[in-house]
Amino acid sequence: MNHDTAAPQPQRSETDPQDQFKQSRRNFLKLLGGGIAVSFVLQDAFAFLPDAEEVTSPLVVNPEQVGGWLHIGKDNVVTVYTGKVEVGQNIRTSLAQVVAEELRVSVHSINMVMGDTDLVPYDAGTFGSRSTPVMGPQLRRAAATARGMLLELAAQEWKVEKSTLRLADGHVLNTASNKRLSYGQLAKGTKLLQAVANDAALTPTEQWTIAGTSVPKVNGRDIITGRHTYVSDMKLPGMLHAKILRPPAFGATLASVELAAARAVPGVVVVHEGNFVGVAAPDRAAANKALAAIKPAWHTTSQPSRSEIFDFLKKNASTPRSGGRGSSKKGSLETGMAAAAKTLRSTYHIDYIAHAPMEPRAAVAQWENDKLTLWTGTQRPFGVQDDLAKEFKIDKSQVRVIMPDTGSAYGGKHSGEAALEAARLAKAAQKSVKLTWTREEEFTWAYFRPAGVIEVKSGVKVDGTLTAWEFHNYNSGPSGIETPYEVPHQQIQYHPVDSPLKQGSYRGLASTANIFAIESQMDDLASLVNMDPLAFRLKNLQEPRLRAVFEAAAKAFGWAKTKPGKNRGYGIGGGTEKGGFTATCAEVAINPKTGDVKVLRLTTAFECGAIINPEHLDNQILGAIVQGLGGALFEAVDFKDGKILNPLFGQYRVARFKDMPAMEIVQLNRKDLPSAGAGEAPIVGVAPAIRNAIAAAAGVRLKTLPLVPKGLQVAKS
Q: Which residues pair with 664 in a beta bridge?
A: 603
> What local confidence, expressed as pLDDT, does residue 41 receive?
52
Torsion of CA 92, 93, 99, 103, to 10 degrees: 140
Min mean pLDDT across 49-63, 143-157, 179-193, 425-439 is at: 49-63
Provide the H-helix boundaries in 590-701: 614-633, 686-698
Q: Rounded mean pLDDT of 178-199?
A: 89
User: Looking at 17-21, 241-245, 334-338, 586-590, which range is the least confident one?
Assistant: 17-21
The residue among 677 and 43 whose pLDDT is bigger is: 677
Q: What is the pLDDT of residue 34?
A: 74
Tell me the average pLDDT across 348-366.
96
pLDDT in tens, 110-128: 999 999 999 998 888 888 8
Q: Given this model, what pLDDT does residue 30 score?
A: 64
Q: Are 454 and 471 in contact (CB under 8 A)?
A: yes
Phi and psi torsions of 56, nearest 5°: -100, 160
Contact of 515 with 480, CB cutoff 8 Å: yes
Judge whether residue 16 has pLDDT over 90. no
What pLDDT digit, counting tens, does each position of 332-341 carry?
A: 999 999 999 9
Per-residue pLDDT, 191: 82
Q: How far apart are CA 273 and CA 170, in angstroms?
A: 56
Where does the pLDDT of residue 195 fall: very low under 50, low under 70, confident under 90, or very high at 90 and above?
confident
Query: Mean per-residue pLDDT for 38-50?
Result: 45
Q: Which helix (H) or strand (E) holds 172?
A: strand 171-174
Confirm if 447 and 415 have CB atoms less than 8 A apart: yes
**Count of beta carbons in the 10 Å neighbourhood of residue 178:** 7
| Lowest-confidence pick of 16-20, 44-48, 314-318, 351-355 | 44-48
**pLDDT (mean) for 217-234:** 94
Is residue 365's pLDDT more than 80? yes
Cβ pair 448, 507 in contact under 8 A = no
Separation of alpha carbons 636 and 685, rounded Å: 19
Integer Cα distance of 297 and 258 in angstroms? 9
Residue 576 scores a pLDDT above 80: yes
Residue 460: pLDDT over 80? yes
Is the pLDDT confidence value at 675 over 80? yes
pLDDT band at 27 (very low <50, low <70, confident <90, very high): low
Q: Residue 300 carries which side chain, given as an amino acid letter?
A: T
- Out of 27-31, 201-205, 379-383, 594-598, pick the least confident: 27-31
Residue 147's pLDDT band (cuts 50, 70, 90):
very high
Looking at the chain, the whole-number percentage of residues with pLDDT higher than 90 is 82
CB-hemisphere CA count at 13 Å for 461?
Answer: 12
From residue 580, give the alpha-carbon distance in Å to each of 138, 535, 536, 545, 669: 20, 22, 22, 9, 12
**Closest C-alpha to 366, from 416, 419, 433:** 433
The pLDDT score that the predictor gives to residue 63 is: 31
Dist CA 263 CA 284 (whole Å): 15
Give the DSSP per-residue string, 56-120: PPP----TTS--EEEEE-TTS-EEEEES---SSS-HHHHHHHHHHHHHT--GGGEEEEESBTTTS
Average confidence score pLDDT of the chain = 90
- Find the mean pLDDT for residues 639-649: 96
Q: Which residues pair with 303 in a beta bridge?
A: none
Q: State yes or no: pLDDT of 20 exceeds 80.
A: no
279 beta partners: 243, 270
**The pLDDT of residue 28 is above 70:** no
Residue 56 has pLDDT above 80, yes or no: no
Higher local confidence (pLDDT), 680 or 69: 680
- 40 closest CA partner among 209, 213, 196, 272: 196
